[in-house]
Structures are given as C-alpha cells and as structure tokens.
Structure 1
C-alpha cells in the first residue's frame, strides 16, 4: 500500500478527534482494502428477475394500488417467515417451461417404429417456451413479524443526522429484494429495503452516496468518478462508521469494497485518491448524529 493513505488521514485527524472513542481510522481504512472479507448472503436471497418481469410486476402492483416492494413466490415468503395476506391475488410473471417435443425423425417415421439413436433423442427431447404464470406476491401483500427497518444506535441519532445533513428517507420502491438500499444523490434522498440484512450499514452507505456522489462528483485529478469507485467510497464510509459505533458488518464491508476494486493495484490507487474524501464523509455523518451537533456545532465542509 502506498504511503499516501496515512498522510492523508493525519490531515483530517484533528477534525475527527471530537468523536469520542474513535478507533484508528487510518488502520481501519488499510484493513478494509487488504484484510479478507466476505460477500454478504443478503445479495442472493431473492431470485434475480429480468428487467421485463420487474416492469411487469410494477405495472400490476401500481394498477392494484399496492406499493412497489420486493417480490417472491408464495413458498419463498413462507421460507422467510412471512405469509400472504388472505384475499391477495398473485401477480403474473413470464417464466420458462420445458415441454416434450418429438424429434424430426419421429415425425417422419412415426413414433411406434422409430429407432432413434440417443443423440437424436437428446436433441428432440424437449423445448422451452415462455408463459405467464400467477405465482408471485409483493412484500406489501404479506404479513408477519415486524422487520427491523429502523436504526436505533444509542451513541448516534439517525433522525438528527438526516436532518442536519438535509437528507430525506423515502419508501423503498423496488421489486428487487436483493438490493439493500439506494440513493438519489442529486436530490439527497435515500431508501432502505425493509428486509435489509444490516439496515444500519446500508443507511451509512446510502448517506455517503448523498454526500459524495452528486452528478458533478469528481476525483482529485478532475476525472468523473466511475461506479466502482463510488461504491467503494460509500462502503468505506459505512465501514468506518460501523467500526466507530461498534456495529456488525465489517467482514461484509471488506468483501464489498474489495469486490468492487478487484485488485491490489486498484486498491492502492483508491487509497491514495479517496482516503481524504472517505474520512471527511464518515466524520460528517457521525458528527451529524451526535449530541455535539444538538449543542450547535456545525459539521466541517467536505
């Protein structure tokens, strides 16, 4: 790793001393880029539906006056501990179905007398067609135990932080249950999936997007930020916030960050160019939700 990361960190160190019991962010940042992590299973809980099916589901839910929300089959919701509400009707999606088909030889000679070799049989054994099936329900059509959407952290006030940073939280209106949350940075707006595995980490991640990644977001050298850098920056902010507040999710954050960067060379470059931006955004988010802000302090500008 280059020597630029610790240097950039110490440039911000004085501004962050006000956060009580703050761990060594310089070391944490280096760990996020180099120590092994893991990819969260939360990204593969639901089936990945095609864009066409997602649009089809959204149209049907909107027509019925139902909120857009993650979709799954009856049995999948049951596995997740939720039941479809009585009276709710399934929505239709396009699904593949394999039907038996005769080979060309069988059509010509007749099935009774055909002596088709195994290879020809395999080629003519079936074909796939696509049909509409009413098998799916949205989260808004189910009931069960309350999902842990709200983030309650004793040392940090979510509502206060969102207010101070002028970020608004709205309804999660995607049908993809694997998406943990999303942000619209130009509008400083975010939404968290009510089924998110770690809503606190997702919240920090999306807040970071709102602070760092407006349409005009650029790197220090003037280049427009590519998506992989944006995602690595946002998750690095979430990593520092979770570590500072003693929250779970560090292993998953490291896996996410390293997954987007892809190589040691990219991680080295990221560390040199994004460290100061990451530290500033994490500091701003943590300070915005503390009692210090209630007393009238103003967050440092990024």
Structure 2
C-alpha cells in the first residue's frame, strides 16, 4: 500500500494556531506593554487609596462587592474597580458559559493580571536548576479578560431575576447602634476558637476590647449595645487573623497600620452581615503609606492583600459562599511572558 506525506498545516492537531518566532516576539512585546500599562493604572488607583477618603470609598466598594473580594487578589480587585466601577460579579468567559450565561457580543473585557507559574529554560531548552539542583519555578503575570455579570445575559433567553445585593453600607465613622445579626457573634467566636483564642466579656478599662496573646483570649467590654459588641469582636478577630498579636512590640511600633488593617477587615465582615461598623483610624494612613508613589503602591497593595485575605478567612465562618478563590488559569493563550507584576 502506498503511503503519502501530508503537509503540516499552520494549525496543530488540537486546533491551536502555531506561531512563528517573529510572531511570538511581537506578541511578547505587546503583552509586556499591556502589563506595564496595567501597572501604571494600578499605581494611579492605589495612590488614591492612601488618602482617608480614598480608602473609605474602597472599603465600601469591597464590602458591597464581596463576591469580587472573595475571588480576586487586591491588585486585581483594584484593576476591576478602576475599569468597571459598577462591577459586582466578575468571571472569565468560559466560566460564565458554564453558569448558563453568555457574554454579549461587542462587550470589552476587563483586563487583569493572572499569575502563572513557569519553569525557565536554558538555551538548549532544558529546565534551569537552582543551587540545590531543583528545577526553578517562577511566577509571571499575563493579562487576561474577565467580564462583569452586567456584560452577560442568560443563555436560555429567560428573563433576569430581580437581584438585591443585600449589603446596606453604613457611613464610615458612624455610631454603631442596634442589634447584631443572628448567630454573627457565635460565628466570630467559632473563627477565633479555630485560631486558638477564647472569647469572654467583662471589664476592659478604657478600651472597648482587646486580644491578649498570653492568655489567648479576646475580651469584649460589658454594657455595650449588641451591635457595638459585635463590631468590637469583629475588630479583635481581625487583629488575631492578621497575626497582629504574635509580636506586641511590633504592634506598638506599627500601631497605625495595624489598626487600619483590623478596622478595615471588621468593616467588610460587618457590612456583609448587614451590620453597621465604625472605622476611626483611617487618618493614620498618610503617616505610614510611604513618601513616593512607588512606595505607596507597594505598601497599600500589601495592606490591601492582607485585609482581603483576613476578611475572606473570617467570612468563611460568618458568611460562607462557594466562590472564594481567585482563578489561577485563563483562556488558552500563547505562553506567558516573564514580566513581573
């Protein structure tokens, strides 16, 4: 039987287009330029957060849009809010399809930076090794598109159900009044118990409450309205979850930053539960954020990420949801370009 040789097409057997070295180089340059552009946009947004008003506005947005905070890093949450201020539920194209929704034709994606771990290779194509002889692994970032639910429609053509965010935002600095949501304080207590702390109520001196690392106890003052006691408990839970109680000397040295972190976490957790929360330490921000835009960005991204991670961990007890992780991969694209983000 005669055999024949078939010319390889520009598309592989799996249907993926092959790129020439020149096309890959061009793609890499475009991607690098886009990453740099997103970084500039992020810097501009984060510098605004360093003001008391900017951070307060961000906290309100993070509390009201908790689905975004549960799924994305602080830097990507900031990019999402900068590009789509009204965003409430953001996912990739394929994930929306799996959920029975279709991105409307002509919608422009929200660009974020997705982490991707790769193994760098030498000129011979072999994996590079570290000093211990293990393959090197580095994390690079590539821009991907995600879409807000407002950019989608139900794939089956049925009518949209009426929605309600369920989060009534208090005024920053407002006096805490009223009662606490059912089981909220019990769930905060369960969170603290998981961290090795017990909760008690009693005399707290001039403080509304405190966390004692020696006795592994959180104490909340007596005689407060229930809502205020819940807010105090959320604040102290924030401190413990953020590991502020591990080194009290460090806490005293960086008190302004740590109080801002704990109050930010408490505000988000309480607001998601429908509870008014008071934030009074935001005026400290300008003192520790940094002197240059670059330092401010570095500091505020670090603080923002710590706040998001701590809020997620506590919300897993007080308001558990199925989606609490950031997608690690994106739609199929050519290989990532090693550009740090």
With the length of structure 1 as denominator, give the TM-score of the two structures. Answer: 0.42
With the length of structure 2 as denominator, give the TM-score of the two structures. Answer: 0.38
